[in-house]
């Protein structure tokens, strides 16, 4: 297979009005850029005249109270992720006070709720039923950061497509995904739900997920509405602490944060979700600039905006609203159409209309946007179309879906280190394997966080089960848990921490000592040691930030003891973030990062560790050497005193941008990922040494698989502009191709660059290009590339 991301993807998503603009001091010519197809034409197969007539007539029949009810989103009782503040939502549905509901999956349960809305209210307006379908519904795929590590848009789109089929058969028609927050701080728990640190890759992943969830026609019964979240800047929460404030310059906002969201508008995403953070002093949920001026007026978004969980209420503790009533006024006038859980719209909007602080005309507009989505989902035609129990029985956890989850999982694994070809484990050479670690036989952890409807008890395949299935006939598996991710603290400290959700704490270390001894004994009997270490799934995700990135509990202590045995050691890491793996990198023979791999994770890991499948994942986020380097990312800018540790001609001066106790470089760079295959890159060939404003440049490189295994390689294209009207990053991802190579096969891989790919927000905030010299890089990782140079010239 071959996944190709053209360099123009990001450039097209960020052009203003279809043009790359030029300042008077740069190019005088306007460069036309083809606009994308409108969302309603591409994704919403409307009879618009019929829809407008129906919805207009319906709104004319509605009382103000019924209109406000359409703006209210209430929570059911399943998988609640915040304070459960309303136990009477069913009565509110009967009263016409609920337009949508979430945390309420199940074809039968959804039918019951829909029946109340359709058959027991005056106008019979059906409900939208939503749920957090983040990386699968019942068949769980890898965590989102793991899916991003595939660098395979077909795989990511398939994951979302399977999730949509299962969810839509189980009473759900709306998901709160994809999360497109760009992240640079691995302490933040929601890294696991993101696509990493790069705007180009994040944009591509976000669009693939929207297309997977919504398909080509939202009216088809096996599609669900997607949500672009969190708008915007949430991923830059200060100190890596969830819900914290963000302070983002205009250049940073438009260069790194906005591209995925603009691209999702162009892809026809149905809904947007506001973010919890304040952005430069204004909470996003109360920002008219974001929700109206940019999203609606500038970008032309046609769906509706929902807040995050109680985000309107939180305008008060933010210090932006005097009280709940004031918060409702601010959020609604800013452009937040639907209130998630907080009930402030149903409590105050009628009163605010009477006082002239909110216009009923604006309420009508918001109601129309919500009713249009109900029309496009086909709910007015058949409100029970998502409540077919027979379809649910056929679709959910089907063999086809589980096979898809297995394939995406093994594509997501990143081989970080593999000294002396320790991997793969060949069953014709190894007689026994010791498998240890708190995650080696944990069904609960396999599917990770945000697997809201996933079964944690029976369906996930653990690593131990996968090993027994793959190696059991020929290789003896000696299993011992061996280590724990529990924090060992005093009982007094435990008592002080009760009630704040700190995961896995214990005051008893006697059982840990016994487990470690079992692991040592088992390892003495085996040829190789495979350690499945990492974080309990609850240690990442919403409200799960950490101040340390090391493996928690006594896991490293156990690894240090096992190292003394002198046997080959393989570390499989499961977590939702980059971890501090310095000791492992220095002492372990091979390291495979598996994120949280999902329902079929154990089988997928056995596939890769045995060599039945060659790993092809690449890091979507930089792995620091320690938390002290955070934030660290590949597309940083240079300083006036750059420090190049690998440059032998540079004097080792003290007064440089450097650390006293660590190299500047990361432990593993963005784009890093090894293979059992061996990919040899030739030098870059350019079709010309100059690129004109109306031309294009072909960048080619010959690649040969000289190894003993077939495999896929992610060929990465980067550029660097040497001088600009603002300082420019040292590298920027502009394209990638995922290409399969047979053993011994050679291929020529080519990319096409145009001036639009080199455009950026210049000093005056205009979007365009500037003449000058550029480097272009092609390689296997951001820090392992070939380089060539060219000039961008006016004519």
Please identify every residue annotated as catalytic. 308
- Nearest alpha carbon to residue 233 among 189, 284, 300: 284
Q: Burial level of 451, CB count in 10 A (0-12/13-18/19+)?
A: buried
Separation between Cα atoms, residue 661 and residue 679, nearest integer Å: 34
CA separation for the pair 466, 572 (Å, rounded):
14
* Alpha helices in 169-226, H assignment, sequence order: 199-214
Chain CA centroid to CA 100, Å:
25
Please say whether the beta carbons of 139 and 166 come within 8 A.
yes
| 353-359 contacts at long range (C-beta below 8 A, 24 or more positions apart) | 353/64, 357/329, 357/333, 358/329, 358/332, 358/333
Count, in order, helices (H) and strands (E) of the chain.
24, 32
User: Would you say 724 and 747 are in contact if contact means Cβ atoms under 8 Å apart?
Assistant: no
Residue 390 structure tokens = 């027979």
What is the C-alpha separation between 676 and 415, in angstroms, rounded?
9
- 10 Å CB burial of residue 748 (0-12, 13-18, 19+) is exposed
In 341-494, the DSSP E strands lie at 414-418, 432-436, 476-480, 487-488
- What is the H or E stretch that residue 774 is in? strand 772-781
**3-class secondary structure, 470:** helix
Q: Are 156 and 147 in contact (CB under 8 A)?
A: yes
Sort 36 into a burial class: Cβ within 10 Å, 0-12 / 13-18 / 19+.
Answer: middle
Task: Show Cβ contacts of residue 255 under 8 Å, excluding neighbours closer than 6 positions.
Answer: 199, 760, 761
Q: Cα separation of 329 and 336, whole Å?
A: 10
- Lookup: tokens for 627: 């938390």
* Residue 127 near residue 115 (C-beta atoms within 8 A): no
Sheet holding 2-5, edge to edge: 2-5, 732-741, 711-721, 772-781, 784-793, 690-692
List b or e across 434-450, with b for residues whose CB sees 16 or more CB atoms inside 10 angstroms.
bbbbbbbbbbebbbbbb
* CA 221/CA 573 separation, integer angstroms: 38
Alpha carbons 48 and 50: distance in angstroms, whole number: 5
d(CA 675, CA 743): 12
Give me the residues paired with residue 691 across strands: 792
**Distance, first Cα to last Cα, the chain:** 38
Burial class (CB in 10 A: 0-12, 13-18, 19+), 593: buried
Residue 668 CA to residue 622 CA, distance in Å, equals: 6
């Amino acid at each position: 297979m071959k996944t190709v991301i053209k360099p123009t993807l990001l450039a097209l998503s960020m052009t203003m009005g279809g043009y790359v603009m030029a300042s008077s001091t740069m190019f005088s010519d306007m460069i036309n850029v083809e606009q994308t197809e409108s969302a309603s034409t591409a994704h919403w197969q409307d009879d618009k005249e019929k829809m407008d007539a129906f919805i207009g007539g319906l709104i004319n029949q509605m009382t103000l109270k019924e209109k406000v009810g359409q703006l209210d989103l209430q929570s059911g009782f399943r998988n609640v992720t915040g304070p459960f503040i309303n136990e009477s939502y069913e009565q509110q549905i009967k009263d016409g006070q609920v337009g949508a509901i979430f945390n309420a999956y199940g074809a039968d349960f959804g039918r019951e709720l829909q029946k109340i809305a359709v058959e027991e209210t005056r106008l019979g307006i059906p409900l939208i039923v939503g749920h957090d379908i983040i990386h699968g519904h019942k068949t769980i795929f890898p965590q989102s950061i793991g899916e991003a590590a595939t660098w395979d848009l077909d795989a990511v789109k398939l994951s979302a497509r399977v999730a949509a089929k299962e969810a839509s058969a189980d009473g759900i028609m709306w998901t709160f995904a994809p999360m497109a927050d760009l992240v640079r701080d691995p302490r933040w728990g929601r890294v696991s739900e993101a696509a990493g640190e790069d705007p180009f890759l994040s944009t591509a992943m976000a669009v693939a997920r929207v297309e997977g969830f919504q398909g080509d026609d939202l009216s088809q019964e096996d599609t669900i509405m997607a949500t672009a979240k969190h708008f915007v800047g949430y991923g830059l929460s200060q100190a890596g602490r969830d819900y914290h404030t963000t302070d983002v310059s205009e250049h940073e906002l438009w260069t790194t944060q906005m591209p995925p969201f603009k691209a999702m508008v162009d892809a026809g995403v149905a809904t947007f979700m506001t973010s919890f953070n304040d952005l430069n002093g204004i909470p996003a949920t109360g920002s008219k600039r974001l929700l109206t001026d940019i999203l609606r007026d500038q970008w032309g978004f046609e769906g509706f905006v929902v807040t995050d969980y109680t985000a309107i209420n939180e305008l008060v503790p933010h210090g932006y609203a005097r009280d709940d009533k004031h918060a409702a006024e601010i959020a609604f006038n800013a452009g937040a159409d639907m209130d998630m859980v907080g009930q402030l719209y149903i409590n105050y909007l009628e009163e605010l209309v009477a006082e002239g602080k909110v216009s009923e005309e604006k309420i009508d507009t918001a109601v129309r946007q919500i009713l249009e989505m109900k029309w496009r989902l086909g709910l007015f035609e058949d409100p029970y179309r998502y409540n077919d129990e027979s379809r649910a029985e056929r679709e959910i956890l089907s063999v086809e879906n589980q096979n898809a989850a297995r394939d995406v999982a093994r594509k997501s694994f990143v081989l970080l280190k593999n000294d002396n070809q320790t991997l793969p484990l060949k069953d014709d050479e190894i007689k026994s394997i010791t498998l240890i670690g708190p995650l080696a036989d944990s069904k609960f952890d396999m599917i990770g966080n945000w697997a809201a409807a996933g079964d944690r008890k029976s369906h996930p395949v653990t690593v131990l089960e996968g090993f027994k299935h793959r190696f059991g006939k020929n290789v003896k598996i000696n299993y011992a848990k061996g280590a724990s991710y529990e924090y060992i603290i005093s009982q007094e400290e435990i008592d002080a921490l009760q009630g704040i959700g700190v995961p896995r704490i214990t005051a008893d270390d006697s059982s840990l000592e016994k487990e470690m001894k079992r692991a040592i004994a088992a390892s003495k009997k085996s040829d190789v040691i495979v350690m499945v270490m990492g974080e309990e799934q609850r240690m990442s995700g919403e409200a799960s930030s950490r101040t340390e990135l090391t493996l928690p509990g006594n896991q490293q202590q156990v690894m240090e003891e096992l190292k003394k045995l002198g046997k080959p050691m393989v570390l499989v890491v499961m977590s939702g973030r980059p971890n501090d793996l310095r000791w492992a990198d220095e002492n372990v023979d091979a390291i495979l990062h598996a994120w949280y791999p999902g329902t079929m994770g154990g089988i997928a890991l056995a596939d890769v560790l045995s060599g039945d499948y060659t790993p092809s994942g690449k890091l979507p986020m930089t792995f620091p050497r320690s938390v002290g380097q955070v934030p660290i990312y590949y597309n940083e800018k240079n300083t006036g005193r750059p420090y190049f540790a690998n440059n032998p001609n540079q004097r080792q001066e003290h007064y440089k941008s450097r650390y006293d106790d660590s190299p500047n470089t990361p432990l593993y760079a963005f784009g890093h990922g090894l293979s059992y295959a061996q990919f040899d890159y030739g030098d870059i060939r350019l079709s010309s040494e100059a690129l004109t404003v109306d031309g294009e440049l072909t960048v080619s490189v010959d690649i040969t698989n000289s190894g003993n295994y077939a495999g896929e390689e992610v060929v990465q294209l980067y550029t660097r502009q040497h001088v600009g009207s603002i300082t420019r990053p040292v590298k920027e991802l502009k394209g990638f191709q995922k290409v399969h190579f047979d053993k011994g096969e050679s291929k020529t891989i080519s990319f096409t660059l145009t001036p639009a790919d080199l455009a950026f927000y210049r000093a005056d905030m205009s979007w365009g290009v500037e003449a000058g010299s550029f480097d272009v890089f092609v390689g296997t990782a951001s820090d392992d590339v070939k380089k060539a140079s060219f000039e961008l010239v006016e004519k």
